[in-house]
Amino acid sequence: MKFLISNDDGVHAPGLLALYQALSSIGEVMVVAPNNEQSGCASSLSITTPLYTHQLDSGFIAVNGTPADCIYMALHELYRHTRFDCVITGINSGANLGQDVLFSGTFGAALTAQLFGIPAIATSLVGGGVKGDGQEQASHYQMAADEIVKLLVDTPILDMCKNLPYHVLNVNIPDVGSVDDIKGRKITSLGHSQIARPVHNMVDPRGRDAYWLSLRKCQNEQSAETEDVQSSAINLTDEQAVAAGYISLSPVRLPHTPIAALDTLSTLVL
């Protein structure tokens, strides 16, 4: 198998390296990723400025652009003669749950691949493996990467993705102490949680108003009862699944024009 991987945390991120190492055990892996962090850029493309590439000693290709730029360039220029079996993005440092996928560069890169007919999976480590002194623990990303490989090898998920055009599989892996703490996998829908404080206002050292955007959710909405999750067969959200220790697999369809909406709007007199 041939894999193309990217992320929005940058080409040096531990999640990207862990994903590369794990996927290399089952196939050939090419890496094209931003040269610095690009979180929150969704599927934006750089169409007003030129892009430049730099190949690292590892063979990874760094691009001075967005995650979507990286996938776009890889498919149409850098590896235009390569037929990829799947594009996998991540492993993101932190969750991409619910409405956050609309802003995520990790998801946006996978979405870009699906626009061109390549099966795509966006992966995230809930919590990002940040512990104690703030250092990200590589072992947590490695555990998450191993779970992604198990998903590809032990299940027919990749074949299913190939049969679902214009869908991205959004995967969130709970950040637990050991693999034994992962309770299994759940097929989920995207949840929707209220943002605790969307904009933080502050004054910078020069006395100017400054604003910091945030997607942090209200804490009381992030809890879920394990018993409810274990008994749920339908309508389980991604937040509920990971809160209960399950890997969340959410099929997300790209924007399209639904027939029901066309029927509803056709009744209007414009």
- Please determine, for residue 144, whether its predicted confidence score (pLDDT) is greater than 90: yes
pLDDT tens figures, 16-46? 999 999 999 999 999 999 999 988 888 899 9
Backbone angles phi, psi at 109, to 5 degrees: -70, -40
pLDDT tens figures, 74-92? 999 999 999 999 999 999 9
Domain extent at residue 124: 2-192+222-262
pLDDT band at 256 (very low <50, low <70, confident <90, very high): confident
Please give the pLDDT value at position 267: 85
In a domain, 186, yes or no: yes
pLDDT band at 224 (very low <50, low <70, confident <90, very high): very low
The arithmetic mean of pLDDT across residues 221-232, rounded, is 50
CATH of residue 244: 3.40.1210.10
Mean pLDDT of the chain: 87
In a domain, 269, yes or no: no
Residue among 211, 21, 7 at smallest CA distance from 94: 7
For the chain, the domain total comes to 1
In a domain, 142, yes or no: yes
pLDDT tens figures, 127-136? 865 544 444 5
The arithmetic mean of pLDDT across residues 7-11, rounded, is 95
Residue among 114, 250, 259 at smallest CA distance from 187: 250
In a domain, 215, yes or no: no
**Higher-confidence residue: 213 or 47?**
47
Residues near 31 by beta carbon (within 8 Å), at least 6 away in sequence:
4, 5, 6, 11, 16, 20, 58, 59, 60, 61
